[in-house]
Amino acid sequence: MRQTFGLCAVSVLGMALGEARGVSSASSPPRPEADEAARQAIDRAVDRVYPALVRIHVVTVGAAGGRLEKFESAGSGAIITRQGHVITNHHVAGKAKRIVCRMPDGEEIEATLVGTDPLADIAVVKLKADGRKTPGNPLPVAVFGDSDKVRVGDTVLAMGSPVALSQSVTRGIVSNTAMIVPEFYGPEAFKLDGEDVGSLVRWIGHDADIYGGNSGGPLVDLDGRIVGINEVGIGLGGAIPSNLAKSVADQIIATGQVKRSWTGLECQPRLKECSQAKGILVGGVIPDSPAAKAGLRPGDILTEFDGHAVDARIREDLPLFNRLVLSTPIGKAIKVTAIREGKPMTLTLTTAAREAARGEDQELKSWGMTARNFTLMSALERERPDKKGVLVSTLQSGGPCTEAKPPIDRGDVILEVNGKPVDHIDALRAISREVTEGKDDRVPVLVGYERKTQKLLTVVKIGKEPPEDEPVLARKAWLPAATQVLTRDLSEALGVKGKTGVRVTQVYTGHAAEKAGMKVGDLLLKLDGDRIEASQPEDVEVLPNMVQQCKIGTEVTFEGIRDRKPLKLTLKLEAPPTPPSELKRHKDDRFELAVRELSFDDRVSRKIDASLRGVLVDRVDDAGWAALAKLNVGDILLSINGEPTPNVDTVEELLNRAVEKKSKRIAFFIRRGIHTMYLELEPSWDIE
């Protein structure tokens, strides 16, 4: 049986958002006879917290397909300081590159990420003071309550922005004060960036309705105090206890990060047949860790840690022990009491600084991959002797790494390039720049890498993608009109049974056919005295082939029928319009779009007047900046920041100007079908 486990963030793909404020019950709608005192208590609680409730919109990056893809999502948060600090979840804002917070009154304020902690799933963002409409007015602030005093059966209010809608409130009761991930979900059930959130957090379970988008929103008691930060929905809602959330937020606000101790202990509840009445079972000890150096072994029963009695009879007890260990000062020598084979012993353990579970994904475009540096834990888990090397995390299909022979694969570790050691990503970037500088095409490099226990070599061609060589089509004569085959059935229906040829379906304005008097409905039967042998649907190329046998500028005569009367037209054949493949095109990797000049076919098929000046959007990269702005392939770009874009050169110039200025917003004015609209592209300049 496969289980699923859901966070309560929501991906935003665009929706109409209305402003509404309401309180709903998770169990039943309010009754007319509902206790007035309870109603007043709810009103007071809402009034105390609701003004500080924010809806958080973020642009986040994530590694996929060899690149850092960008996507929009939304969550919730609450203002917790007068300076504008907002608490939310790591999975909402921890990887955000652009953050906008929306207040209950509709005001939108940009924010920056102060710091994040994936292990507790807590992040803090700060509202930009210069982004406020009324910077002098004090911000509303929500206050924390004591989560240790929360009891099963307490009424609580879940506040947030479900499914990215405007701020809302739901009501329920506390169902569980020590909720953890059920064991049958498996050890990988709830990991964020490699961190096991369940090892630290015991949720406050409640039945107030929460949905995607509630993540990061406060769980509030009837005194209007934050007692939890909503995080998960697994049937019941789950909130991170406020005492833990506040402690983490305070550290982030003070230093921008959370520092924790590491011992190398991997503990679990005592086995059922264990005769020891109290204690925690040591299930594993990481080699060369502080615990290993102290002499602890699997099978030991810990009874005291740094002067604190410790016990874990069931899995719900473990997070409390883990919090104790992680919060111990780094580098502190502590006493650990344990039972080994029935005998007590006391050992001295010196804690070390805990590193992140895994490195941050980074994109290397010239390699067509994303990669990570090793951390202590990620190196240990791969049984590596040190943290040297670059770990390949995702690859671009058809990119330099996957095209190599043998190809580099996900999970491989790059150790050297052209004989130079690659200890980390910065070294790989430096070597790549040195090799490719001034080169227009890809450059082959010799790469040494490891795959499990194998040491492999391959040649990877890195650098810029070579330009696409579009074949130039030979120019042949062209009839500026569209036609259909005069089939046997059609010729009989039109009263010209037995005739072969074509019927004119469109005459292009301003060209030779129109000037010669050709009209829709004309039947063309001969070209310069030669019959047009077209009578089957598959004969559509008969007339174009006859025309192309003539030179451009040749004067030709068509004979045919119009309104059952003989018709004779003379015109000069023209050069065909430039095909789309030969029109000027600009591909912009920074904004992840491509545009080209409008073709003749574009204008004809889309009924675009010749006076309209613009360029056609013919590529929008998935999860790129242009895609986030909702730009579509086929849109016609008419202006950028109010300046007309009559051609590709102008678009390139205006986009380059935006890069030089590092513009916060770039307004595209586009035509889509019969509609025109403005789209705002909001790049983050710290992303490649």
As a whole number of angstroms, the distance between CA 562 and CA 568 comes to 9
Which tokens belong to 388? 């040297």
**Cα 540 to Cα 477, 496, 562, 572, 611, distances in angstroms:** 16, 19, 21, 22, 32
- The predicted pLDDT at position 164 comes to 61
Q: H helices within 50-139, ranges in order?
A: 90-93
**Cα 166 to Cα 30, 42, 57, 155, distances in angstroms:** 22, 19, 12, 23
Which tokens belong to 602? 């574009």
Secondary structure letter of residue 574 according to DSSP: B
As a whole number of angstroms, the distance between CA 433 and CA 364 comes to 11
- The predicted pLDDT at position 465 comes to 63
- The predicted pLDDT at position 22 comes to 39
**Cα 612 to Cα 158, 160, 586, 602, 604, distances in angstroms:** 52, 46, 20, 12, 13
Residue ranges and CATH numbers for the domains of the chain are 8-255 (2.40.10.120), 261-353 (2.30.42.10), 362-462 (2.30.42.10), 481-572 (2.30.42.10), 580-681 (2.30.42.10)
Supply φ then ψ for residue 110, to 5 degrees: -70, 155
As a whole number of angstroms, the distance between CA 597 and CA 586 comes to 9
Q: Are the beta carbons of 525 and 499 closer than 8 angstroms?
A: yes
Q: Give catalytic residues, as residue numbers.
A: 91, 121, 215
Those residues of the chain that have pLDDT short of 50 are: 1-5, 11-28, 33
- The predicted pLDDT at position 213 comes to 83
Q: Are the beta carbons of 159 and 53 closer than 8 angstroms?
A: yes
Three-state DSSP class for residue 491:
helix
Across-strand partners of 158?
170, 219
pLDDT tens, position by position, 122-134 = 999 999 987 677 7
**What string of DSSP letters covers 174-234?**
EEEEEE---GGG-TTTTEETTEEGGGT--EEEE-S---TT-TTPEEE-TTSEEEEEEEEEE
- The predicted pLDDT at position 303 comes to 94
**Cα 352 to Cα 148, 254, 325, 347, 358, distances in angstroms:** 29, 21, 11, 16, 17
pTM for the whole structure: 0.78
Q: Are the beta carbons of 339 and 300 closer than 8 angstroms?
A: yes
Q: Are the beta carbons of 109 and 53 closer than 8 angstroms?
A: no
Q: Are the beta carbons of 512 and 574 closer than 8 angstroms?
A: yes
Q: H helices within 498-623, ranges in order?
A: 512-515, 542-548, 600-606
* C-alpha gyration radius of the chain: 34
- The predicted pLDDT at position 12 comes to 39
Secondary structure letter of residue 424 according to DSSP: S
- The predicted pLDDT at position 8 comes to 63
As a whole number of angstroms, the distance between CA 637 and CA 651 comes to 9
Q: For 563, left (φ over 0), alpha (ψ -120 to 50), or beta?
A: left
pLDDT tens, position by position, 301-343 = 999 999 999 999 998 999 999 999 999 999 999 999 999 988 9
Q: What is the largest CA-CA distance in the chain?
A: 117
